[in-house]
């Protein structure tokens, strides 16, 4: 663990990545690239270029989730702050924390001291948002955690008063159903009586609208998808030629999730030197790079209940595209 208290007042940053993270990419690549249906987890999209591409995706006309979630926050932030009495925001997968500012505005308006704990795998995002937010909100304490929320939740700093865990952007949809429930159960363990989880989920809707959100006309999402190959080339000394792979976004109507895949345009073999691995791709072969599950109220309720969480509020935008859910530990 690497810990730095920044010369900027109010900022402390801890990192749990480095060697371990490289191992996680190596393990995931070894596992995912040697399966008959190749697959890599989406967290590896997010080096600093991937994070910037994601920020551009959020601005695209087709990518409604960011605008929809933001509109819910705009409408309900003050009520959420009053209802939760939050003194600390712990944000998982915080990214640039753009929408979080709506909550921070509402918290700041109460005049009470607040601590913000952003956790993300992208170091640059944690550091940049810590300096930016302490500048915008004088008196805000930021304890940034550079880490993997699947492996490092137990390293979050000890609670600093009433806690609101924030998990926005529909990122929970990146988990398959069973690990999703296991992860929610781990989040429940972070909550003491009086603490809450505020989580954004994308809703089931017209498949054409969903597909367009993951396959925009400008090709930014395609670039984001192929960024994974750049990460593998740089981190594991692989020789993927990104232009050999086509971006694919499809909706699985049975599972009600979007899948992003990379489809090999030709039969060829890629070398991943750090793993001593030759990986053959057939012409047209697809590798899955992300699932993004879409929710109904029932799916969400069932997931929460099984994971030891009770739904307190279900808030949607006027067009019912996205939901912001507030829950607390069952029995708390
Ligand atoms: C879909 S983006 C959402 C960003 C932001 N919360 C929003 O709502 O716009 C997912 C974010 O989670 C981060 N992330 C993905 N997997 C992660 C993991 N396993 N541990 C920590 N952060 C992760 C990414 O770096 C990225 O910032």
Of 91, 97, 69, the closest CA to residue 149 belongs to: 91
Which position has the token pair 């699985």? Answer: 252
Of the given ranges (5-9, 123-127, 155-159), which has the lowest mean pLDDT? 5-9
CA distance linking residue 175 with residue 160, whole number of Å: 29
**Cα–Cα distances in Å, from 27 out to 1, 232, 277?**
20, 12, 12
What is the Å distance from ligand 1's center to 51 Cα? Answer: 9
148 CA: nearest ligand 1 atom: 20
- In this model, does residue 102 exceed pLDDT 70? yes
Q: 136 or 8: whose pLDDT is higher?
A: 136
What is the Å distance from ligand 1's center to 268 Cα? Answer: 32
Q: Which residues pair with 116 in a beta bridge?
A: 89, 142
Helices 297-306 and 177-189: crossing angle in degrees, nearest 10, is: 60
pLDDT of residue 19: 65
152 lines ligand 1 (CB under 6 A): no
pLDDT of residue 268: 98
95 lines ligand 1 (CB under 6 A): yes
Contact 154, 16 (CB under 8 A): no
Contact 325, 204 (CB under 8 A): no
Contact 79, 103 (CB under 8 A): no
CA 173 to chain centre: 9
**pLDDT, tens digit (0-9, with 9 covering 90-100), for 212-222:** 999 999 999 99
CA distance linking residue 14 with residue 182, whole number of Å: 25
**pLDDT, tens digit (0-9, with 9 covering 90-100), for 74-101:** 999 999 999 999 999 999 999 999 999 9
pLDDT of residue 8: 61
CA distance linking residue 81 with residue 238, whole number of Å: 47
- In this model, does residue 47 exceed pLDDT 60? yes
pLDDT of residue 332: 73
- In this model, does residue 235 exceed pLDDT 90? yes
Question: Would you identify the CATH topology of the domain 1-332?
Answer: Rossmann fold (3.40.50)
CA distance linking residue 251 with residue 269, whole number of Å: 28
168 lines ligand 1 (CB under 6 A): yes
Contact 122, 15 (CB under 8 A): no
- In this model, does residue 7 exceed pLDDT 60? no
200 CA: nearest ligand 1 atom: 8
CB atoms within 10 A of CB 176: 12
**pLDDT, tens digit (0-9, with 9 covering 90-100), for 236-246:** 999 999 999 99
- Across 173-193, average pLDDT: 97
- Confidence tier at 113 by pLDDT (50, 70, 90): confident
- In this model, does residue 188 exceed pLDDT 80? yes
CB atoms within 10 A of CB 62: 17
- In this model, does residue 230 exceed pLDDT 90? yes
Helix (H) or strand (E) holding 192: none
pLDDT of residue 331: 82
227 lines ligand 1 (CB under 6 A): no
Of the chain, the percentage scoring pLDDT greater than 90 comes to 92
Residue 98, class by beta-carbon neighbours within 10 Å (0-12 exposed, 13-18 middle, 19+ buried)?
A: middle
Helices 123-136 and 48-58: crossing angle in degrees, nearest 10, is: 60
CA distance linking residue 291 with residue 38, whole number of Å: 13
150 lines ligand 1 (CB under 6 A): yes
pTM of the full predicted structure? 0.95
CA distance linking residue 309 with residue 61, whole number of Å: 34
Pairing verdict, β 88-92 and 115-120 = parallel
CA distance linking residue 66 with residue 48, whole number of Å: 20
- In this model, does residue 6 exceed pLDDT 60? no
pLDDT of residue 151: 92
- In this model, does residue 5 exceed pLDDT 80? no
**pLDDT, tens digit (0-9, with 9 covering 90-100), for 254-304:** 999 999 999 999 999 999 999 999 999 999 999 999 999 999 999 999 999
CA distance linking residue 319 with residue 202, whole number of Å: 12
Q: Whose CA is nearest to atom 18 of ligand 1?
A: 148
Q: 23 or 192: whose pLDDT is higher?
A: 192
Question: How is the beta sheet containing 163-167 ordered, strand by strand?
Answer: 2-5, 11-15, 141-146, 115-120, 88-92, 163-167, 196-202, 322-329, 309-316
User: Which residue intervals of 43-198 are DSSP H helices?
Assistant: 48-58, 64-84, 100-110, 123-136, 177-189
């Amino acid at each position: 663990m690497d810990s730095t208290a920044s010369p900027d007042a109010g900022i402390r940053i801890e990192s749990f990545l480095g060697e371990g993270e490289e191992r996680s990419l190596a393990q995931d690549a070894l596992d995912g690239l040697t399966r008959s249906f190749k697959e890599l987890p989406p967290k590896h999209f997010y080096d600093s270029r991937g994070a910037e591409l994601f920020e551009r995706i959020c601005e695209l006309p087709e990518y409604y989730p960011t605008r929809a979630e933001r509109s819910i926050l705009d409408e309900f932030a003050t009520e959420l702050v009053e209802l939760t009495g939050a003194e600390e925001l712990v944000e998982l997968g915080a990214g640039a924390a753009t929408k979080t500012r709506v909550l921070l505005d509402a918290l700041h308006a109460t005049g009470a001291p607040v601590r913000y704990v952003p956790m993300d795998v992208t170091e640059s995002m944690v550091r940049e948002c810590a300096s930016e937010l302490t500048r915008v909100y004088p008196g805000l304490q930021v304890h940034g955690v550079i880490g993997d929320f699947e492996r490092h939740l137990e390293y979050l700093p000890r609670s600093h008063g009433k806690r609101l865990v924030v998990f926005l952007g529909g990122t929970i949809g990146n988990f398959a159903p069973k690990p999703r429930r296991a992860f929610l159960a781990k989040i429940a363990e972070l909550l003491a009586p009086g603490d809450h989880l505020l989580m954004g989920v994308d809703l089931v809707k017209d498949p054409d609208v969903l597909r367009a959100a993951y396959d925009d006309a400008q090709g930014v999402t395609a670039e984001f998808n192929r960024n994974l190959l750049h990460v593998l080339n740089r981190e594991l000394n692989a020789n993927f030629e990104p232009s050999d792979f086509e971006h694919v976004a499809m909706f699985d109507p049975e599972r009600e999730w979007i899948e992003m895949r990379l489809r090999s345009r030709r039969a060829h073999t890629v070398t991943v030197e750090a793993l001593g691995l030759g990986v053959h791709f057939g012409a047209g072969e697809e590798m899955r790079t992300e699932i993004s599950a879409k929710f109904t109220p029932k799916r969400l309720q069932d997931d929460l209940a099984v994971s030891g969480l009770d739904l307190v509020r279900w808030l949607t935008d006027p067009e019912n595209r996205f939901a912001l859910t507030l829950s607390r530990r069952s029995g708390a």
